Chain A
């Protein structure tokens, strides 16, 4: 059964939210969702760009309470 994994990357300067997402995807199952929390507004652009490039699925990009919540589904 697909799971949702939360990655709280708020305040993560290094390695950064996208690197945290990539690291989490390595161990997730196909169909799992990863919800990344980021205070870096660049993540709202960087993560969708990368997800498109490697053909995973972007589920949502939400802004609120001082950080972004970006949800990605592992597609392969």
Chain B
């Protein structure tokens, strides 16, 4: 009997796993002793980090999308039929159409989603760029903006932890380029007692924000937004007025995870080194879906996916583990419209951001195109 590998989720993490396994298991796929199937929710694959540039008109929407079947190795059948129930006891995934898919090995890569609806008034009162519709609306709102108070509001948990810094500094450059910075004020809010989760990044941000004239409110966990009064209030008791509210909405995992009782908030409890679901020996969890205390970011998904490819192919070919995931994360950080820096860290090595430069910004722009090689598992 062929060993069935089922990948649930057609985002970056699931796609790298699928494509990597196709290369590692070429002979087994050819002989029919292994099959790989992917279940996803969309015909298209979106380059999510590109959404950051949409409000500023710095990327074409067509650059954000590819046909998922063209990104995926042709040996992997791709079924657009979202998973609705994952039954780990029966080793079965049931989809929206009612079909059941059995597996020997399961890779859960269902990702995360924004939930502005969980904060009263946020959907009506705020803008965001974490989905295409939101990014388009934010672009329209920015075009109308002629000066005033902008609040950039960060909520926990959220994916891409550097995106709030990037949008804030890019907004500042955008207002300066339009000549309305002198009649504008940007206030950045953050949930904990410093400007960023990464302490070295938070330290770097203090003089950078000072230089750019950006104000900040720390210990700000959003309680509610009043779209009529144009105010945002925190659990800690602070209320801010705004003319334009840009939020990084809180995220949850996908409904299928909570419906299948696989994890609170849609995050699946995952062993930090093997990336196995806690309590399972045949279920891997990758990308935003894990409950691991590390950044929910594309690079995290990428490095985790590489580890799963090595381990799953090694288990099938050699009946042994290959290696551990070390918690590696690498993030480019846009520090305006023309400069950038980067951070990397793992479970043992703290991050240490370098000085911003135009060169790193160009690398990031190049990566916006190289991403598709990453998804194909070539980079």
Contacts and interface: CB of A to CB of B under 8 A. Distances in A.
Interface of A: 5, 7-20, 22-24, 26-28, 42, 46, 49-50, 53-54
Given A26-B250, A53-B219, A53-B236, A19 B345 contact: no
Given A14-B161, A14-B197, A16-B192, A26 B265 contact: yes
A42 B198 CA distance: 12
Contact of A27 (B198, B199, B265): B265
A51 B196 CA distance: 18
Contacts of B236: 53-54
A12 B329 CA distance: 11
A22 to B, nearest CB: 5
B192 A27 contact: no
A1 B191 CA distance: 29
B293 A22 contact: no
A62 B193 CA distance: 21
Interface in B324-345: 327, 329, 345
A20 B265 contact: no
Contacts, number: 82
Interface string B176-209: 0000000000000001110011110100000000
Contact of B293 (A5, A7, A50, A53): A7
A66 to B, nearest CB: 13
A49 B265 CA distance: 25
Contacts of A8: 272, 293
A45 B119 CA distance: 28
Minimum-distance CB pairs A-B, first 7: A12-B293, A15-B197, A23-B157, A11-B347, A27-B265, A9-B293, A16-B197
B351 A13 contact: yes
The secondary structure that dominates the B interface is loop
A53 B218 CA distance: 12
Nearest to B345: A13
Given A11-B327, A16-B198, A23-B156, A50 B193 contact: yes
A14 B157 contact: no
B295 interface: yes
Given A22-B221, A23-B157, A53-B236, A14 B294 contact: yes
A24 B264 CA distance: 8
B329 to A, nearest CB: 7
Contact of A15 (B161, B327, B351): B161
B32 interface: no
Contacts of A13: 197-199, 294, 345, 350-351
B348 interface: yes
Given A13-B350, A23-B157, A18 B265 contact: no
A17 B265 contact: no
A18 B221 contact: no
Interface in B144-191: 156-157, 161, 191
Contacts of B27: none
25 contacts: A8-B293, A11-B347, A13-B197, A13-B198, A13-B345, A13-B350, A14-B196, A14-B294, A14-B345, A14-B351, A15-B156, A16-B192, A16-B197, A16-B198, A18-B191, A19-B156, A19-B192, A23-B156, A26-B156, A26-B157, A27-B265, A28-B264, A42-B199, A46-B192, A50-B219
